[in-house]
Copies of this chain bind each other. A is one copy, B any other.
């Protein structure tokens, strides 16, 4: 009995890490085995390929080799599936920011690095990033989603507090919040405008990402030296 349960756990873990089922038709029988995570993986792939607007729940089911009605047994709706992906996106973002917070860089450089990391995150995963800020595609009032978003922002908040105190300026909650909103807004807007192609004319050779990554540090450092 006990050994059986143990083996089941190992098998389930192997299935998750091995990422099977990406090819349709790999299924053993009527039951998929781990459809929930297979759907999430398929959705992440689709999001990476076509962006948030090219997403389609039926296409995800198709890629998982399953009928259009199958996802309903694992997610309340398309928004439910997308919400999971948005949550893991905020988790990844928080991890990226935390990695910088744990360095021994001076506060100013730490702040700048976090801003750059925010933009890099969005450039690497445009579809996922834009999804994270499309509340019309996500479940409203989802506690885990809100919590994940706040966790990511806490990373920035702590850095801002250090930055202010290192500057010898007041670091009360109101001042910290204002600077948080300021830098978050700037990197977020910069990223959104980039992803929407509004800076296309500024990059002569057509490589927007290169332009963005080269100009952004100068912009941030000029604003918050």
The answer to whether A196 has its CB under 8 Å from any CB of chain B is yes
Cβ–Cβ contact B188 & A192, under 8 A? yes
Cβ–Cβ contact A149 & B189, under 8 A? no
- Judged by DSSP, the binding face of A is helix
Cβ–Cβ contact A189 & B184, under 8 A? yes
Cβ proximity bits A132-156 to B, threshold 8 Å, 1 near / 0 not: 0111110000000010011000000
Cβ–Cβ contact A185 & B189, under 8 A? yes
Residues of B within 8 A of A179 (CB): 222
The answer to whether A8 has its CB under 8 Å from any CB of chain B is no
The answer to whether A177 has its CB under 8 Å from any CB of chain B is yes
Residues of B within 8 A of A136 (CB): 51, 53
A150 to chain B, nearest CB (A): 8
Cβ proximity bits A2-21 to B, threshold 8 Å, 1 near / 0 not: 00000000000000000000
Cβ–Cβ contact B181 & A219, under 8 A? yes
Residues of B within 8 A of A222 (CB): 178-179, 182
A201 to B182, CA, bound (A): 17
Cβ–Cβ contact B196 & A135, under 8 A? yes
The answer to whether A190 has its CB under 8 Å from any CB of chain B is yes
The answer to whether A101 has its CB under 8 Å from any CB of chain B is no
A100 to B223, CA, bound (A): 23
Residues of B within 8 A of A178 (CB): 215, 218-219, 222
Q: Which of A119-177 contact B (CB under 8 A)?
A: 133-137, 146, 149-150, 177
The answer to whether A105 has its CB under 8 Å from any CB of chain B is no
